[in-house]
Structure 1
């Protein structure tokens, strides 16, 4: 009898991953040790810096920039644990910024210039006419002084005006005090909820994001699943086994979310939200696989190239394992 492969998997405990953590879904031929780590930056730093896990969620921009730079330590599955529209995560000081064009020449705080959320946000701001070369970027943690984790991300290939936050303040406090004009990134600064002069750049962000999706077909992907190349090459079957398990776990989460006899989540208007989501996205708002996500991934690659984070463009298909073609799911 062939022994099962033991794999350590680090990821946030998202609803679409929960069945893998509980064991309700088990990948064929694999004993999966699910390591729940709440902060994605901790996962990325430990995976990229120390190769601490066999597979993990990983920043999509970090994977792509390293791949294009010739660092082939990882292979990727077209499974996307985290994705989010990012218009609603741009905060501004109303004293200096009232519309996107007002950001020209300003100081903008960002947790990490190379983070995927910021790549998408800069891309959409550039599409609105903002000249990114005029911006001074201030890197630091949103809610405390100092840096955002211990990242080992590659630097942009061309000079960018990036300053480290060396003050004794968080980016949120700097925004409230008028020392920076805006913030972008994966989190809203707490001062949005406490300072009257700080607000979202797009107050009606939900409508803006829905229109953006209708216009572009892009639902931004933040994280993908990265497998250490040495582990995959030793056990190539794990790609299909894991992909099938990720799909099954997500399908189970979606089924449970749609069961509204007794609300699973503390969202009073969940049934109405589900109706709206289905109207916008169709049956599955969170598809895996390359083909359903091609427009989103092509947009990310374009933004990375436009922002000088990769030297040349690449095709979506070469970034991901596809041993069974577009649809790996075994019926």
Structure 2
């Protein structure tokens, strides 16, 4: 069975994408998108792939509109988020507490990194998200989502707007340009402190399959999951490895953040994110 597949170039996908591991049951026709997240919109809106990497917040929103995709319990990208928040030091020193009432730019209000950072800012630093003047540059992957943020003028770039003083801070970006500083002054210390409090590594991307594939070819879905797990096991030890417990804890937190921010209508139970088939695979995740 040949499967049209979107997977980014990660350490955990390398063995699968370079053919080091193979299957007698399925073959992957890899489709190139750069960056990979450019393929999420066609997957959500057109079901363009049989197998697809997927931002977890996009999946949560897609589920709320009953898009025909099913989540696999497999993480391909996870990272701490604190480094992805910047401000322009020309305006003076800024801390998370100073964001109330400010102009904050973000590529799209529905990005997973943005949702994580807003959740961190609101729940750990007491930032009033509703007081912020949000400026966005792209629409959501999920067409049905109603975006009430202010759209940046056509042709404007997020980092340049920050440099020009048209934004006070931005989320979801990193830059080494002079004058731009991290909103969290000691990023490593903040990450360690946050992990000590919550015991969570934030999930960015997982993998989905089409609902049709899950319903009609369960053996193929089990094989896809096996191959993903095998490929991840061959990745360097530094690559993120999630036990079922680790994955559940991270998913519970991003579900809560997404619900708080109005990205989804309610906080789902983690088990609701899977179907009867993929739910049985959870205990086979890396331990």
Same fold at TM > 0.5: yes
| CA shift digits 1:235-282 (9 cap, x unpaired) | 01122211111111011112xxx5xxxxxxxxxxxxxxx6xxxxxxxx
Question: Could you tell me which residue of structure 1 aligns to residue 212 of structure 2?
Answer: 230
**Matched residues in 2 for 1:35 and 1:168: separation?**
28
In the alignment, which of 178, 182, 195 is matched to residue 195 of structure 1?
A: 178
Choose from 173, 176, 183 the match for 2:160.
173
Residue 255 of structure 2 corresponds to 301
Using the TM superposition, give the Cα deviation of residue 328 of structure 1 relative to its aligned residue in structure 2, in angstroms: 2.9
CA positional deviation for 1:112: 0.4
**Residue 288 (structure 1) shift:** 4.2
Are residue 324 (structure 1) and residue 284 (structure 2) matched? no
Verify the 8 A CA contact 1:25 1:249 in the aligned structure 2.
Answer: yes
CA contact (8 A) 1:7 1:30 kept: yes
Corresponding residue number in structure 1 for 2:170: 183
Equivalence for 1:205:
187
Tell me the equivalent position of 1:315: 269
Partners of 1:27 and 1:62 in 2: how far apart?
29
**1:96-147 CA-partner distances (Å, limit 9, x unpaired):** 552111111000000000111100000000021000010011112xxxxxx4
1:216 and 2:198 equivalent?
yes
Larger radius of gyration: 1
- Which residue number in structure 1 is paired with residue 134 of structure 2? 137
Separation in structure 2 between the aligned mates of residue 203 and residue 121 of structure 1, nearest angstrom: 15
- What residue in structure 2 maps to residue 93 of structure 1? 88
Q: Which string of whole-angstrom CA distances, capped at 9 and with x for unpartnered residues, describes residues 20-74 of structure 1? A: 11211124511122334331221102212222211110111111122133x1410
Give the SS at the match of 1:15. Answer: coil
**SS at structure 1 position matched to 2:235:** helix
Partner of 1:151: 141
Q: Provide the TM-score with structure 2 as the length reference.
A: 0.90
Q: CA deviation at 1:75?
A: 0.4
Classify 1:65/1:152 alpha carbon distance in 2 versus 1 (closer, same or farther; 3 Å).
Answer: closer
**Shift in CA distance, 301/154, structure 1 to aligned 2, threshold 3 Å:** farther
Q: CA offsets, 1:172-214, max 9 Å, x none?
A: 11101111100002x32x4xx2332x21111321221122112
The number of residue pairs the alignment matches comes to 282
- What residue is the counterpart of 1:105 in the other structure? 101
CA 1:165–1:323 in 2, change beyond 3 Å: closer, same or farther? closer
Q: Hey, which bits of structure 1, 4+ residues long, moved more than 3 A?
A: 150-154, 321-326
Gaps of 5+ in 2: none
Alignment partners' CA distance in 2, 1:134 and 1:253 = 43
Q: Which runs of 5+ in 1 are unaligned?
A: 141-146, 259-273, 275-284
Q: CA RMSD in A?
A: 2.2
User: Which of 13, 31, 54 is equivalent to 1:17?
Assistant: 13
CA distance in 2, matches of 1:65, 1:108: 22
Is the partner of 2:134 in helix, strand or coil?
A: strand
Match of 1:116 in 2: 112
Following TM superposition, by how much is the alpha carbon of 1:155 offset from its aligned partner in structure 2, in angstroms? Answer: 2.6
SS of 1:76's partner is: strand
